[in-house]
Homo-oligomer: A and B are copies of this chain.
Amino acid sequence: MEKIDYTSRHHQIALYAKALAHPARVAILEFLAARECCFFGNLHDVLPIAKATVSQHLTVLKESGLIQGEIKPPQVRYCINKENWDVARDLFGVFFNDLKKIECS
Contact = CB atoms under 8 A, between A and B. Distances in A.
B99 A80 contact: yes
Given A4-B48, A26-B13, A26-B14, A79 B95 contact: no
Nearest to A97: B89
B10 A23 contact: yes
B96 A85 contact: yes
21 contacts: A1-B45, A2-B46, A3-B45, A5-B48, A6-B27, A10-B26, A10-B30, A13-B26, A14-B23, A21-B21, A32-B102, A33-B98, A33-B99, A34-B100, A36-B102, A36-B104, A68-B104, A79-B104, A80-B102, A85-B102, A89-B96
